[in-house]
């Protein structure tokens, strides 16, 4: 979920990252613009079907630095690995519910992060006149997205108090 667009919309490159090399390795790097750092979108082009990273040895700094908050809690013994696995299953179920509702509302762009898809769908529906059925689906989608974000913030994102600010901000979530 850290790399498939569920938890994050994009990854920012850091000064030590070699953008040219990462682009050669297949990451669609968007060049730095103004005050915006170079970045690449999620879901990540290097994410393999088995959940591994194709570029693991060469992955960018933010990918190296990020530690899942839930994994850290489990490693510290503050939550059992069985309970952590159940939490992951719940988050995946919530993410799949968001995907189902996005598709029902006409967004089939599986190559974009959930946060970005939700944002675009919200803009589209709020700009037009959605029929009652679409309006009901959108209400369900908003609730499902809210629950997913809450789950992510509470259990998966690294708490700011325990990590340098750049570590939390580097993999960027929307909203």
Catalog residues that contact ligand SF4 under the rule CB under 6 A: 3, 11, 44, 46-47, 53, 55, 59, 63
Q: Could you give the CA distance from residue 102 to residue 104 in angstroms, rounded to a whole number?
A: 5
Q: How far is the CB of 53 from ligand SF4 (least distance, A)?
A: 3
Residue 50, preceding bond cis, omega within 30 degrees? no
Nearest in space to 95 (alpha carbons), one of 158, 150, 21: 150
Closer Cβ to ligand SF4, 94 or 170, answer by number: 170
CB of 125 to ligand SF4, least distance (A): 30
Tokens of 8: 């994050």
Q: Give the residue with the Cβ less far from ligand SF4, 1 or 84.
A: 1
Q: Which is nearer to ligand SF4, 121 or 158 (CB)?
A: 158
Query: To the nearest whole angstrom, how small is the minimum distance from the Cβ of residue 73 to ligand SF4?
Result: 20
Least distance from ligand SF4 to the Cβ atom of residue 47, Å: 4
Tell which residue, 131, 103, 134, has the closest CA to residue 117. Answer: 103
DSSP string, 89-133: HHHHHHHHHHHHHHHHTT---TTS-HHHHHHHHHHHHHHS---HH
**C-beta of 11 vs 137, nearer to ligand SF4:** 11
């Amino acid at each position: 979920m850290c790399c498939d667009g569920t938890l994050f919309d994009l990854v920012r490159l850091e000064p030590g990252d070699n953008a040219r090399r990462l682009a050669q390795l297949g990451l669609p790097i968007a060049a730095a613009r103004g005050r915006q750092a170079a970045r690449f979108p999620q879901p990540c082009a290097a994410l393999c079907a088995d959940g591994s990273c194709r570029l693991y040895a060469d992955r960018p700094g933010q990918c190296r630095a990020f530690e899942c908050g839930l994994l850290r809690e489990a490693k510290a013994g503050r939550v059992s690995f069985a309970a952590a696995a159940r939490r992951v299953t719940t988050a995946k179920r919530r993410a799949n519910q968001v995907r189902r509702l996005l598709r029902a509302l006409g967004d089939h762009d599986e190559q974009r992060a959930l946060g970005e898809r939700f944002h675009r769908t919200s803009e589209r529906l709020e700009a037009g006149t959605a029929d009652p059925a679409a309006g009901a689906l959108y209400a369900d989608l908003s609730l499902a997205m809210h629950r997913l974000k809450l789950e992510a913030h509470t259990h998966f994102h690294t708490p700011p108090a325990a990590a340098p600010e750049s570590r939390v901000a580097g993999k960027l979530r929307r909203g």
